[in-house]
Amino acid sequence: AQSVTQPDIHITVSEGASLELRCNYSYGATPYLFWYVQSPGQGLQLLLKYFSGDTLVQGIKGFEAEFKRSQSSFNLRKPSVHWSDAAEYFCAGLFSGGYNKLIFGAGTRLAVHP
Partner 1 sequence: ETGVTQTPRHLVMGMTNKKSLKCEQHLGHNAMYWYKQSAKKPLELMFVYSLEERVENNSVPSRFSPECPNSSHLFLHLHTLQPEDSALYLCASSQEVSRWPNEQFFGPGTRLTVL
Q: Which residues contact partner 1 (rule: CB under 8 A)?
A: 32, 34, 36, 41-46, 49, 51, 90, 94, 96, 99-102, 104-107
CB of 60 to partner 1, least distance (A): 15
Distances (CA, A) of 97 to 4, 25, 81, 92, 94: 16, 16, 37, 16, 10
Residue number with CB closer to partner 1 (11 or 15): 11
Cα 61 to chain center, whole Å? 13
d(C-alpha 50, C-alpha 33), whole Å: 5
Cα Rg of the chain, angstroms: 14
Cα 47 to chain center, whole Å? 8
One-letter identity of residue 99 = Y
Residue number with CB closer to partner 1 (11 or 44): 44
Residue number with CB closer to partner 1 (36 or 63): 36
CB of 63 to partner 1, least distance (A): 17
CB of 50 to partner 1, least distance (A): 10
CB of 104 to partner 1, least distance (A): 4
| SS3 state at 71 | helix
Residue number with CB closer to partner 1 (13 or 44): 44
